[in-house]
Amino acid sequence: MLKQIEGSRAVAEAVALCRPEVICAYPITPQTHIVEDLGVRVKSGRLQPCEFINVESEFAALSVAIGSAAAGARSYTATASQGLLYMAEAVYNASGLGLPIVMTVGNRAIGAPINIWNDQTDSMSMRDAGWIQLYAESNQEAVDLHIQAFRIAEAISLPVMVCMDGFILTHAYERVDVPNQEQTDKFLPAFEPRQVLDPAAPKSIGAMVGPEAFTEVRYLAHHKQMQALSFIPEIAEEFKAVFGREAGGLVATYAIDDAETVVVTLGSVIGTMQEVIDDMRSEGLRIGAVSIRAFRPFPLAALQPTLENAKRVVVFEKCLAVGLGGILASNVRMALRGRAMPVYSVIGGLGGRPITQSSLRRLFTKASNDDLEGLHFLDLNKDVVNRALEREESIRRSGSIAENILRDIGLVAAAKTT
Amino acid sequence: MAHQQIKFYQTGTFTVGNRLLDQQLRTVQATADRSNSLDSGHRACQGCGEALGARFAIDAAMRATDNQLIATNATGCLEVFTTPSPESAWRIPWIHSLFGNAASVATGVAAAMRVKGRSEVRVIAQGGDGGTTDIGFGCLSGMFERNDDVLYICYDNQAYMNTGVQRSSATPGAARTATTQPIGDQPGADFGQGKNVPLIAMAHDIPYVATASVHDLHDLEAKIIKAMALHGSRYVQIFVPCPLGWGAHPQDTIKIARMAVECGLYPLFEAEHGEITNATKIRSRVDVTEYLKIQRRFAHVFKNPDQLAKIQAIADANIQRFELLSTVGNGQ
């Protein structure tokens, strides 16, 4: 059914269609409307049987889901940003225990300095926590990915993180085709756990494993993710057969057939990029894009053919491995090993900075002329950076970088008006 | 049958025994059909109070729930010595997730049972004092505040024993641990203000809070059985001496536990909805020195009269606060 609906509420509808049995959430750090909406559904009786539990921290939220999933209940929670880091220990634990929890991450920045806006540093910090990570391009895809996520999680007994850009998707009103219950039930069977806490058949879960078996356990975690590389596209195909539209899978391509410059990215920025690419193609520039939809497992094999004809690759991402550069870029370079061609790592949109068409157009023009440094920060204000460095050079007690820069920007702006 | 305090000791050991009791009054542990939920073959040290406490408590809870029990376990000695994979000493459905989240995991298990309509299945969370009073305290308080249907059992051995005896917020003043060495003017742990989690639990107004000790099996079982008859959040803290960490002889575990109670340092009481309903009277009061002198963790206290006086003052304050001495005419 077509609806003009906020991203968070559309996801809440999708999660409700999946008949979750336990939903637990710490509602803040930061908040989206997803769990609020689900809370209303449970309390009004529209989503039953389901337990909705308000907890005191993100760490407790995922811990409750660990308990409920281990006891055989389909379990869901949502978080983002600082909250995801606060639950980090439980994030690793849920995957280590093989519990098929589904969690939405409404991607946002990580402080300090505190910042509530969108980038993907939060989920990227958990990229090696053993969860499957899916990234949504649009609210429609966010809805569709959640329905697929329960299916994937329960089939291979691993937790799935559905990542959708904070604000840009979670708070945006868009037209979304919300599936109906009949379709969803057809696609998603009842949860049949691989392991369950039950007095009728007592089992111990979470025992200590020493050097004699730990490597094998970790190998199997990797093996399961490798299996997911074939399972995720299968599920996407099956989804298409039931719901009549494409969503998910490992990678999606846009105008790459004759492209000399291929941009690789993930998340909602692909929407803006497609418009820029259309414009630039009409001017004769051979440029295309690849969107990574499953970041874990990383689709090395699926990515390689999409970059086969490229003369250069631009990896664009909203996160930064401080001291290295792009996180996605490092992964993409693995897919390009043995290929001699420029790979540009571009960091943009940090802490909610808008990624404009004009900035992207300038970026892509420079890249297609091979006039770009290996690591580039989109719209970086070098004057501000240089002044901050000068302050640190000249004054020992130069103070907080963030506050100094704010004052600096404020002073410059004030000087202009006078 | 209602619990009644056993009025006699076995000779010599002062152990509260079964042998002179009617069959129905004997402990769960004394019965042939006990569940042995924590089975033999685990790797606890000789004289481990926690292994005893867990065995007593879980067998009693199994009796009370007709074996419909699931337990969650915090990281710690109890977890490590019972489940070196692929072995497990547990004969009940049991899950270990993390150090600080046993209460939340239990909340999740209880929610799953409720949503599946399995109201007969009851849930226990358990952990040591570190996993309860320190790192797990946020989750514990959250569970209390929501009044989730879970019994949380804290096995209190007053330090982080599994990792080599480091101080927790349950470590008593003056005690030697790896992080509170007996050196300087104030050897051992700082006295501070203490952190009495049973009293904090009571402040949440939860249905039931109790303290128990491994030396009084009848009392311990009765408290667990009572806790399992109630719904909502319940908290039982069991005093479990640690021979290794306390520098005591393994054969003295029960004696140390009895001394702790009889000197007033570890009051045994029950509370319902925030009000104390019962405190176990001291039967044969001993000086704190009787309790301290059989533990090497307090050896330096005997060279430091100030510390000894402080510890005695804590015991005296407990005796007054919880009215641990029988009043004249009330029977002894």
Task: Flag if A199 and B113 touch (Cβ within 8 Å).
Answer: no
**Cβ atoms B175, B189 nearer than 8 A:** yes
The amino acid sitting at A188 is L
Identify which of A59, A67, A208 has the shortest CB distance to residue B106: A67
What would you report as the CA-atom Rg of chain B, rounded to the nearest whole angstrom? 19
Query: Is A212 in the B-facing interface, judged by CB distances under 8 Å?
Result: no
**Would you say the C-alpha torsion B29, B35, B40, B46 has a positive or negative sign?**
negative
Query: Is A103 in the B-facing interface, judged by CB distances under 8 Å?
Result: no
Contacts of B91 in chain A (CB under 8 A): 202
Contacts of A50 in chain B (CB under 8 A): 115
Helix (H) or strand (E) holding A219: helix A214-243
In a domain, A204, yes or no: no
pLDDT in tens, chain A (418 residues): 999 999 999 999 999 999 999 999 897 766 789 999 999 999 999 999 999 999 999 999 999 999 999 999 999 999 999 999 999 999 999 999 999 999 999 999 999 999 999 999 999 999 999 999 999 999 999 999 999 999 999 999 999 999 999 999 999 999 999 999 999 999 999 999 999 999 999 999 999 999 999 999 999 999 999 999 999 999 999 999 999 999 999 999 999 999 999 999 999 999 999 999 999 999 999 999 999 999 999 999 999 999 999 999 999 999 999 999 999 999 999 999 999 999 999 999 999 999 999 999 999 999 999 999 999 999 999 999 999 999 999 999 988 988 889 888 886 555 554 4
Task: Flag if B100 and A21 touch (Cβ within 8 Å).
Answer: no
Instruction: Give, in order, the Cα–Cα distances in Å from A163 to each of A157, A226, B117.
Output: 19, 20, 33
The nearest alpha carbon in chain A to B104 belongs to A64
Q: How close A359 gets to chain B, by Cα (Å)? A: 46
Rounded Cα distance, B229 and B2, in Å = 13
Task: Identify the residue among B67, B115, B123 best suited for mutation to test binding to A, counting A beta carbons within 10 A and taking the highest.
Answer: B115
Check residue B10 and give its pLDDT: 64
Q: How close B17 gets to chain A, by Cα (Å)? A: 32
Contacts of A195 in chain B (CB under 8 A): none
Q: How close B209 gets to chain A, by Cα (Å)? A: 21
Contacts of B152 in chain A (CB under 8 A): none
Query: Is B285 in the A-facing interface, judged by CB distances under 8 Å?
Result: no
Helix (H) or strand (E) holding A291: strand A287-292
Q: CB-based contacts of B192: which residues, under 8 Å, 6+ apart?
A: B173
Please indicate, yes or no, whether residues A52 and A187 belong to a single structural domain of this protein.
Answer: yes
Please indicate, yes or no, whether residues A367 and A387 belong to a single structural domain of this protein.
Answer: no
CB-side exposure of A142: number of CA atoms within 13 Å? 33
Identify which of B68, B108, B117 has the shortest CB distance to residue A65: B108
How many beta-carbon pairs under 8 angstroms link A with B?
162
Rounded Cα distance, B108 and B199, in Å = 25
Task: Identify the residue among B43, B85, B140 best suited for mutation to test binding to A, counting A beta carbons within 10 A and taking the highest.
Answer: B85
Please indicate, yes or no, whether residues A131 and A115 belong to a single structural domain of this protein.
Answer: yes
Task: Flag if B108 and A68 touch (Cβ within 8 Å).
Answer: yes
Query: Is B154 in the A-facing interface, judged by CB distances under 8 Å?
Result: no
Identify which of B80, B98, B112 has the shortest CB distance to residue A71: B112
Give mean pLDDT, residues B256-260: 97
Contacts of B73 in chain A (CB under 8 A): 206
The nearest alpha carbon in chain B to A203 belongs to B93
Query: Is A204 in the B-facing interface, judged by CB distances under 8 Å?
Result: yes
Query: Is A53 in the B-facing interface, judged by CB distances under 8 Å?
Result: yes
Contacts of B83 in chain A (CB under 8 A): 204, 206-208
CATH of the domain at A318: 3.40.50.920
Q: How close B204 gets to chain A, by Cα (Å)? A: 14
Check residue A409 and give its pLDDT: 87
Q: How confident is the model at residue B326 (pLDDT cuts 50, 70, 90)?
A: confident
The nearest alpha carbon in chain A to B106 belongs to A67
- The answer on pLDDT for B331 being more than 50 is no
Q: How close A208 gets to chain B, by Cα (Å)? A: 5
Contacts of A97 in chain B (CB under 8 A): 97
Please indicate, yes or no, whether residues A368 and A398 belong to a single structural domain of this protein.
Answer: no
Contacts of A209 in chain B (CB under 8 A): 85
Task: Flag if A207 and B83 touch (Cβ within 8 Å).
Answer: yes
Please indicate, yes or no, whether residues A364 and A409 belong to a single structural domain of this protein.
Answer: no
Check residue B73 and give its pLDDT: 98
A258-262, A396-400, B200-204, B324-328: which has the minimum mean pLDDT? B324-328
Please indicate, yes or no, whether residues A23 and A97 belong to a single structural domain of this protein.
Answer: yes
Query: Is A77 in the B-facing interface, judged by CB distances under 8 Å?
Result: no
**Cβ atoms A22, A74 nearer than 8 A:** yes
Task: Flag if A207 and B84 touch (Cβ within 8 Å).
Answer: yes
Task: Flag if A63 and B104 touch (Cβ within 8 Å).
Answer: yes
Please indicate, yes or no, whether residues A18 and A91 belong to a single structural domain of this protein.
Answer: yes
Q: Specify the DSSP class assigned to residue B25.
A: G
> How do strand A2-6 and strand A173-177 relate by DSSP bridges?
antiparallel
In a domain, A308, yes or no: yes
Contacts of B121 in chain A (CB under 8 A): 199
Task: Flag if A67 and B105 touch (Cβ within 8 Å).
Answer: yes
Query: Is A177 in the B-facing interface, judged by CB distances under 8 Å?
Result: no
In a domain, A392, yes or no: yes
CATH architecture of B35-322: 3-Layer(aba) Sandwich (3.40)
Supply the pTM of this predicted model. 0.96
Rounded Cα distance, A304 and B136, in Å = 46
Q: How confident is the model at residue B13 (pLDDT cuts 50, 70, 90)?
A: low
Please indicate, yes or no, whether residues A396 and A262 belong to a single structural domain of this protein.
Answer: no
Check residue B11 and give its pLDDT: 63
Q: How confident is the model at residue B332 (pLDDT cuts 50, 70, 90)?
A: very low
User: How deeply is B61 buried, as exposed, middle or buried, from its count of CB atoms within 10 A (0-12, 13-18, 19+)?
Assistant: buried
Please indicate, yes or no, whether residues A346 and A299 belong to a single structural domain of this protein.
Answer: yes
Check residue A29 and give its pLDDT: 65
Rounded Cα distance, A79 and A122, in Å = 10
Q: Specify the DSSP class assigned to residue B21.
A: S
The nearest alpha carbon in chain A to B72 belongs to A67
Contacts of A27 in chain B (CB under 8 A): none
Contacts of A64 in chain B (CB under 8 A): 104-105, 107-108, 111
Query: Is B96 in the A-facing interface, judged by CB distances under 8 Å?
Result: yes
Check residue B330 and give its pLDDT: 44
Give residue for tokens 């319902």. Answer: B272
Domain count across chain A: 3
Query: Is A49 in the B-facing interface, judged by CB distances under 8 Å?
Result: yes
User: How deeply is B124 buried, as exposed, middle or buried, from its count of CB atoms within 10 A (0-12, 13-18, 19+)?
Assistant: buried
Please indicate, yes or no, whether residues A150 and A191 belong to a single structural domain of this protein.
Answer: yes
Domain spans, chain B: 35-322
Please indicate, yes or no, whether residues A339 and A405 belong to a single structural domain of this protein.
Answer: no
DSSP conformation letters of A94-152: HHHTT---EEEEEE----SSP--S--SHHHHHTTTSS-EEEE-SSHHHHHHHHHHHHHH
Identify which of B70, B96, B117 has the shortest CB distance to residue A71: B70
Task: Flag if B138 and A53 touch (Cβ within 8 Å).
Answer: no
Check residue A418 and give its pLDDT: 44
Instruction: Give, in order, the Cα–Cα distances in Å from A69 to each of A20, A193, A298, A345, B204.
Output: 11, 8, 26, 39, 28
The rounded mean pLDDT for chain B is: 94
Task: Flag if A206 and B84 touch (Cβ within 8 Å).
Answer: no
CATH of the domain at A117: 3.40.50.970
Task: Show the domain range for A108.
Answer: 2-199+211-243
The nearest alpha carbon in chain A to B142 belongs to A56
Contacts of A55 in chain B (CB under 8 A): 104, 107, 142, 146
In a domain, A205, yes or no: no
A253: β partners: A290
Please indicate, yes or no, whether residues A272 and A195 belong to a single structural domain of this protein.
Answer: no
Check residue A413 and give its pLDDT: 56
Rounded Cα distance, B89 and B76, in Å = 15
Task: Flag if A197 and B109 touch (Cβ within 8 Å).
Answer: yes
In a domain, A206, yes or no: no
Helix (H) or strand (E) holding A363: helix A357-368
Closest CA to A262 of A283, A280, A286, A281: A286
Query: Is A367 in the B-facing interface, judged by CB distances under 8 Å?
Result: no
**First-last CA distance in chain B:** 24
